């Protein structure tokens, strides 16, 4: 079963809200390359593992719960980027050409359907689809799907990193890029273990051309246990030793030992009628 606390896994700040970037961020939430896919994919893969292979199941559940926390971070980032977004054509026309272009670049359902909040869709408003999830019953085939998911996911994160010029967003994305590096490596490690081979695999992390110094160097080879109790390092190939991309060394962290970060968000423009408080006094 599953638990939560009231902290974000990593800090999410936005210096200058940008509704166009809020549209782009949706791709990382509900897009085919996004975090809803990997969270649900690792859950379904875990539930298919027979009980006598508990280490594999634990590995998958650990990372599934971590990914749920990534959706939460991105949802917070979308909400913060939508602060102050235009909700009336009068606002827009007072704002000159920029106003009209800003409205044009918004994902309209981020206003109309959710009141300036994140959606379970991609950047075009196309809803998350269960067929993105691969859980084949065959652990090796599943690992190829996971490497693919973390490769296209990391590629997306690097493109978002380049797109934004907000320091808070760049910092959050550097963290997510690092986690995708780790996840590519841990799934490849398991795939090679299933295949009894042990060798460097220099094509990883994909894309490899993203500068190392732009990646968060603290978290890019750390396995994160999300078990509700702090765990000792189980000494698995994905928690210690060289990483298969030969660029790092695995370590082991428990999420319960992380400091976490506050998740404070403001109320939306009253004209989107989110009615957050008791309201029938009129």
Q: Which of 117, 155, 136 is nearest to 31 (CA)?
A: 155
- The least CB distance from residue 240 to a copy of itself, in Å, is 19
Task: Kindly state the helix (H) or strand (E) to which residue 56 belongs, with its residue range.
Answer: helix 54-81
From residue 179, give the alpha-carbon distance in Å to each of 153, 154, 172: 10, 9, 11
Please report where in the chains the tokens 């379904």 appear, as a residue: 44
- The least CB distance from residue 250 to a copy of itself, in Å, is 19
Q: Would you say 85 or 239 has its CB closer to a copy of itself? A: 85
Q: Would you say 101 or 249 has its CB closer to a copy of itself? A: 101
Q: Would you say 235 or 266 has its CB closer to a copy of itself? A: 266
Q: Would you say 177 or 250 has its CB closer to a copy of itself? A: 177
Q: Would you say 196 or 235 has its CB closer to a copy of itself? A: 196
Whether 49 and 140 have beta carbons less than 8 Å apart is answered as no
CA separation for the pair 127, 121 (Å, rounded):
4
CA separation for the pair 9, 92 (Å, rounded):
36
From residue 132, give the alpha-carbon distance in Å to each of 5, 8, 29, 45, 221: 28, 26, 13, 13, 26
- The least CB distance from residue 277 to a copy of itself, in Å, is 7
CA separation for the pair 9, 75 (Å, rounded):
13
Q: Would you say 76 or 239 has its CB closer to a copy of itself? A: 76
CA separation for the pair 228, 233 (Å, rounded):
15
- The least CB distance from residue 282 to a copy of itself, in Å, is 6
- The least CB distance from residue 275 to a copy of itself, in Å, is 5
Q: Would you say 56 or 250 has its CB closer to a copy of itself? A: 56
Give 91: exposed, middle or buried? Use CB within 10 Å, 0-12, 13-18, 19+: middle
- The least CB distance from residue 231 to a copy of itself, in Å, is 11
CA 234 from chain centre, in angstroms, equals 25
Q: Which of 134, 234, 236 is nearest to 192 (CA)?
A: 236
- The least CB distance from residue 204 to a copy of itself, in Å, is 7
């Amino acid at each position: 079963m599953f638990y939560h606390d009231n902290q974000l896994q990593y800090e999410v700040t936005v210096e200058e809200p940008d509704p166009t970037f809020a549209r782009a961020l949706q791709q990382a939430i509900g897009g085919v390359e996004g975090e809803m896919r990997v969270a649900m994919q690792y859950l379904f893969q875990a539930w298919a593992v027979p009980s006598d292979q508990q280490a594999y199941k634990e590995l998958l559940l650990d990372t599934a719960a971590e990914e749920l926390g990534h959706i939460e971070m991105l949802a917070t980032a979308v909400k913060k980027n939508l602060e102050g977004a235009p909700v009336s054509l009068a606002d827009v026309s007072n704002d000159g050409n920029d106003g009209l272009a800003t409205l044009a670049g918004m994902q309209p359902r981020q206003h109309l359907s959710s009141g300036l909040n994140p959606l379970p869709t991609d950047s075009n408003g196309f809803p998350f689809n269960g067929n993105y999830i691969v859980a084949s019953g065959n652990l090796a085939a599943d690992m190829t799907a996971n490497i693919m998911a973390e490769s296209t996911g990391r590629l997306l994160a690097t493109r978002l990193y380049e797109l934004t010029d907000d320091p808070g967003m760049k910092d959050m994305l550097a963290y997510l890029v690092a986690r995708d590096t780790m996840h590519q490596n841990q799934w490849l490690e398991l795939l090679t273990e299933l295949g009894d081979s042990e060798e460097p695999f220099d094509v990883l992390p994909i894309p490899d051309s993203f500068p190392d110094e732009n990646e968060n160097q603290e978290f890019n080879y750390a396995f994160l246990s999300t078990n509700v109790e702090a765990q000792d390092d189980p000494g698995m190939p994905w928690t210690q030793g060289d990483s298969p991309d030969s660029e790092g060394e695995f370590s082991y962290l428990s999420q319960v030992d992380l400091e976490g970060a506050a998740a404070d968000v403001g109320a939306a423009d009253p004209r989107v009628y989110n009615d957050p408080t008791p309201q029938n006094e009129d």
